[in-house]
Structure formats: structure tokens, C-alpha cells
């Protein structure tokens, strides 16, 4: 009897050792993320180890090496993994000066605009609201993001009062319908808008069509010089002649021969050469 118990205990210990999580392949996983999305995570290894480990254990994945093999083959799992990397905290009417500048293009008949990344859709809808205020109701605004969770929220078009803080009460009533404690964009203001899960470095992205303006704010801050240059190159291919690229204040554009930098008062953008 004693021998049986001891043998069982040994087997349990061996099983415990067998399923002990192996995080040794983190550098290769970070390298894969960088190649796939451009995001350099090498300075955040401690946080990532915990986050990625939790992700794996929830799916009975025993190592980062196993995860790497699986996300290369399983697009659904890869998407869930990539959702861990994105930050989608934003609000309506952010960087208004760029939005108003884009509306001026819409008024001139330049109707195609791309928001990349669009997060959960606040930027896209802000642009649509301002366009309607300016008397423009026909446009084609596409919002893309790496995160499927963000795109799901954008398609739901439902937001908390927190993200609406820059609106006056009458504007909230005009653009939204109350939905419990949240607010949903009225159908009228959803026309001409499309949201799509898409990676800016994918072939799918290059097939989105041509645009008069691209808004890409606070994405390139996560890229090194190589990927920043790669990003503005793919944007250049999608922009129409003399199309405009708007970036965030912290997005540093590398030296290039693709764009001309335009500064007017507090507004800065890059015009395709």
C-alpha cells in the first residue's frame, strides 16, 4: 500500500514537471510579432512574459515555441494573439485640426479617406459627423485595425459617455441614440463607412484601393526606423497623386523622397510627391 502511494506521488511529480510552462522562446516570439506587425516589443519582456503565458495557459499551450508554431498555421489563434498587442483607448474629436483639414478635402470632392489604425472607430465617426456639419454626406471612409476586438466595437458603433466628453449635449442627441448607459451612432451617420481587420504590411492592405487622405496617428511610435519607412512607403502606394498623410505629433517620419512636409499654422501633414 505504501509502495503504491509513493509510486503515484512520483507519477504526479513527473506530470507536474512535464506541464511546467516553458517561456524560453520569448525572443523568437517577439521577432515574429515585429516581422508580422512592425511592433517592437523587445523593451517590454517582463510584461509580455506574464501576458503571453496567461494567453497560453488558457489554451493548454505549454510553451512559447508551441505558440509560435500554432499562430503561424492557425489564423484565428494568430488574430486572438495579436489582439493582445493593441491599445485602443481613444475618444471622439481627437486632433480636431487634422479632422477639419480632411473635411476640407471632402468639400473639394476628394471623397476617399483611410484611417489606419482606426481603433474602435471614434476617429472615423468624428470625421463623418464633421463632414455632415459641412454639408458633405457622400464619402467613402475606411477604417482598418490589426485588432478584431477593436473592429467589432467599431461595427457595433456603441460607446460610453467617457469617449463622448468633447461633445455638447445637443451634439450627443444629434449624432447618437441612447442605449442604456451607452450611446450608439445613428444609422444616418454610419453611411459611407466601412471597418475591416487588416495589417498594414499585408497584401490585403495594398489592395484596399486609392485614397485622397490617410490618417495614421500614434502607430509608428511603436516602430523602428526600418518599419517607419516601410509604413510610409505602403501608404505612398495607396495615396492618390498629391494625397495627404496625417500622422500623430509623436510619430517621427524618417527622411524620404516620397512626401513634401506641409505646415500651416498649427497644422502639419505630408503631401505625396
Last residue of a domain, one of 82, 104, 126: 82
**Residue 219 pLDDT > 70, yes or no?**
yes
Which domain range does residue 205 map to? 96-272
Do 117 and 33 reside in the same domain of the chain?
Answer: no
Chain segment 28-50, per-residue pLDDT in tens: 999 999 999 998 888 888 888 88
**Quick one: average pLDDT of 114-127?**
97
Chain segment 191-214, per-residue pLDDT in tens: 999 999 999 999 999 999 999 999
**Residue 182 pLDDT > 50, yes or no?**
yes
Burial 69-87 (b: 16+ CB within 10 A, else e): eebeeeeebbbbbbbebbe
Residues found in the chain: 273
Do 43 and 125 reside in the same domain of the chain?
Answer: no
Do 113 and 15 reside in the same domain of the chain?
Answer: no
Residue 237's pLDDT is what?
98
**Residue 187 belongs to a domain:** yes
Burial class (CB in 10 A: 0-12, 13-18, 19+), 1: exposed
Residue 3's pLDDT is what?
34
Comparing CA positions, the residue from 186, 187, 216, 225 lying closest to residue 118 is 216
0.75 exceeded by pTM: yes
- pLDDT above 90 coverage of the chain, percent: 79
Last residue of a domain, one of 82, 115, 148: 82
**Residue 158 belongs to a domain:** yes
- Split into its structural domains, the chain has a count of 2
Do 212 and 176 reside in the same domain of the chain?
Answer: yes
User: pLDDT-derived band of residue 87, with 50, 70 and 90 as boundaries?
Assistant: low
Residue 7's pLDDT is what?
47
Residue 19's pLDDT is what?
60
Q: Give me Rg for the CA atoms of the chain.
A: 23
Residue 45's pLDDT is what?
84
Fill in the DSSP letter of residue 243: E
Comparing CA positions, the residue from 75, 50, 86 lying closest to residue 58 is 50
Residue 133's pLDDT is what?
96
Chain segment 148-181, per-residue pLDDT in tens: 999 999 999 999 999 999 999 999 999 999 999 9
Amino acid at each position: 500500500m505504501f509502495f503504491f502511494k509513493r509510486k503515484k506521488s512520483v507519477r504526479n511529480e513527473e506530470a507536474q514537471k512535464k506541464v511546467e510552462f516553458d517561456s524560453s522562446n520569448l525572443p523568437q516570439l517577439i521577432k515574429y510579432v515585429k516581422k508580422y506587425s512592425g511592433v517592437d516589443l523587445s523593451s517590454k519582456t517582463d510584461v509580455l512574459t506574464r501576458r503571453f503565458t496567461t494567453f497560453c495557459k488558457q489554451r493548454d499551450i505549454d510553451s512559447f515555441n508551441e505558440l509560435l508554431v500554432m499562430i503561424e498555421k492557425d489564423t484565428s489563434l494568430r488574430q486572438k494573439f495579436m489582439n493582445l498587442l493593441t491599445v485602443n483607448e481613444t475618444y471622439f474629436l481627437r486632433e480636431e485640426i487634422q479632422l477639419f483639414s480632411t473635411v476640407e478635402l471632402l468639400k473639394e470632392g476628394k471623397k476617399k479617406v483611410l484611417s489606419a489604425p482606426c481603433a474602435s472607430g471614434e476617429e472615423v465617426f468624428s470625421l463623418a459627423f464633421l463632414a455632415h456639419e459641412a454639408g458633405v454626406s457622400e464619402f467613402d471612409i475606411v477604417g482598418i485595425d490589426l485588432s478584431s476586438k477593436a473592429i467589432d466595437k467599431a461595427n457595433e458603433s456603441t460607446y460610453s459617455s467617457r469617449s463622448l466628453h468633447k461633445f455638447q449635449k445637443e451634439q450627443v442627441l444629434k449624432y447618437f441614440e441612447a442605449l442604456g448607459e451607452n450611446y450608439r451612432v445613428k444609422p444616418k451617420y454610419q453611411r459611407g463607412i466601412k471597418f475591416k481587420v487588416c495589417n498594414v504590411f499585408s497584401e490585403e492592405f495594398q489592395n484596399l484601393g486609392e485614397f485622397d487622405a490617410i490618417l495614421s496617428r500614434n502607430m509608428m511610435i511603436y516602430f523602428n526606423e526600418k518599419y517607419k519607412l516601410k509604413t510610409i512607403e505602403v501608404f505612398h502606394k495607396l495615396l492618390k497623386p498629391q494625397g495627404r498623410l496625417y500622422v500623430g505629433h509623436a510619430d517621427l517620419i524618417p527622411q524620404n523622397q516620397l512626401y513634401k512636409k506641409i505646415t500651416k499654422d498649427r497644422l502639419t501633414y505630408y503631401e505625396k510627391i
